[in-house]
A and B are shown apart, each in its own frame.
Chain A
Amino acid sequence: MNEIEYLLAAILVMAISTYLTRLTPFLMFTPGKENAKLNFVAKNTPPMVMMILVIYMLKEVDYLSTEIFYTLFALLLL
């Protein structure tokens, strides 16, 4: 396998892996109003995930670089 073939194979493998993670819930669950538990999870996941994503991003901020100024500025603008 030469270098380009390796890269192409790697990209293909990554594409399949990524798509599988996104496809899984659509294969596992069928939509329907009868599934109260699933609807409950679907309704509550976005606020939880948003909270988690914000904390995750704040954790990634390099507090010793200029990024902290951008971040604070962006937050102040809100």
Chain B
Amino acid sequence: MIKIALKTSLPILFGFVPLGIAFGLLFQELNYPWYFASLMGIIVYAGAAQFMAIGLLAAGVGLVEIAMSTFLLNSRHMFYGIAFLESFGNWNLRKLYMIFGLTDETYALMTSINVPKGFNKKKYFFFITLFAQIYWVLGCTIGALSSEILSFNTEGMEFAATALFVVLLIEQWIMVKRLLPFMIGFIASFIALMFFIDHMLIVAIIISIGSILIFRLINKSHDE
């Protein structure tokens, strides 16, 4: 099972390692020891927030502000767990860790794959989560360590994440096969882009969930 989980998690490697390296390189411009980049990957483990933190740390802003901006930036994660309320199982250390590791990429991957027959879903998800974080910490560390030795050009490496999300979007289509949620996501994205470009992700998610609930309500009143 560990082998299959490793194979399934590979698309995340191609996204996380280059992005982690880009983070590590940028982080080194703050002139802290390299291992603090790794530490961030280990205990914060949030791509966008870590990039934002470099700017905040450089400006020396207060801790309250750091806490609030991190919370706001990551608030989209509040909707991710809903998909795993059951599949993460009972409260134990493993579940606490899987919740900790619920990034955009792991959420996208784990909601799009079918768990092979006979596999323990919780363990399978746990290993995917663990491998994904290893890739991220690896990337952060390589980036921070190599900034003194090499000059990497990681510009444009985000394409790996774009490709991953497109693949998973197609997987979702194969699994769901109803146009409505895709249409809602599409329209909500553009509404969010037009009016709230700085907070596009969270605004689009809130509009989508609100809209799909309204559709559900309308359908229900039709049935009655």
Asked if A56 and B181 make an inter-chain contact with CB atoms under 8 angstroms apart, the answer reads no
Q: Which residues of B contact A (CB under 8 A)?
A: 32, 36, 39-40, 43-46, 49-50, 53, 56-57, 60, 63, 66-68, 70-71, 74-83, 85-86, 88, 95, 99-100, 102, 104, 107-108, 111-112, 155-163, 165-170, 172-173, 176, 180-182, 184-186, 188-190, 192-193, 200-201, 204-205, 208-209, 212-213, 216
Interface string of A66-78 (1 = CB under 8 A from B): 1100110111011
Residues of A in contact with B (beta carbons under 8 Å apart): 3-4, 6-7, 9-26, 29-31, 37-38, 40-62, 65-67, 70-71, 73-75, 77-78
- Residues from chain A with a CB closer than 8 A to the CB of B80 are 22, 25, 45, 49
Interface SS, B side = helix
Let me know if B74 and A42 touch, CB within 8 A.
no
- The interface residues of chain A lying within 8 Å CB-to-CB of B160 are 74
Within the complex, what minimum Cβ distance (angstroms) separates B194 from chain A? 12
Give the residues in chain B near A23, CB-CB below 8 Å: 81, 99
A41-B169 CB under 8 A given contacts A21-B75, A26-B99, A49-B185: no
The verdict on A50 contacting B169 (CB below 8 Å), with A22-B99, A41-B209, A74-B160 known, is yes
Contact between A40 and B216, CB atoms less than 8 A apart? yes
Contact call A74/B162, Cβ cutoff below 8 A? yes
